[in-house]
Amino acid sequence: MELITQGKVAKSVKKYVEAKVVIEPHRSFHRSWAYNPNDSVEEQSKKEVEYYREWADELKDFFRDHRSQDVNDVYVDVTEINACNQCGEAWEEAYDEDNKEYYCACCGAHIRDGK
């Protein structure tokens, strides 16, 4: 097998694949959307999403107008994976039975000291 990254050594590193800011409404908001036991699951979820959209619009107005708004939390939600430091793809080890060594399954770079 010919290595794509000849002479380079691969290791697992953290790679951030997505980051977003999440703003969570105050707990009282969760109870504010109208629950009707006669509504189907689909109708209930549509109502809930509509109320969240309305709340998001109000929050945008708050940022624009500096009005008072109860926000429970603002945080960054980061999705991360273990990735190969050579090719940047998701970390996946492979083992070469003939050479008795581990390598990156994506780019073929040698992994020093196995696992």
**pTM for this model (two decimals):** 0.46
What is the residue extent of each domain of the chain? Answer: 1-17+82-115
10: number of Cβ within 10 Å: 25
3-state SS assignment for residue 33: coil
d(CA 51, CA 23): 15
Q: Express each pLDDT in 54-69 by its tens digit.
A: 888 887 777 777 655 5
Q: Express each pLDDT in 6-41 by its tens digit.
A: 667 888 888 888 888 777 777 666 555 566 778 777
Higher local confidence (pLDDT), 48 or 109: 109
Going by their DSSP bridges, the two strands 12-25 and 71-84 should be labelled as antiparallel
What percentage of the chain carries pLDDT values higher than 70?
A: 74
Give the pLDDT of residue 92.
Answer: 92
Tell me the two tokens of residue 81.
């994976």
**Comparing 14-23, 37-46, 99-108, which segment has the lowest mean pLDDT?**
37-46
Q: How sure is the predictor about 94, in pLDDT bands with cuts at 50, 70 and 90? A: very high
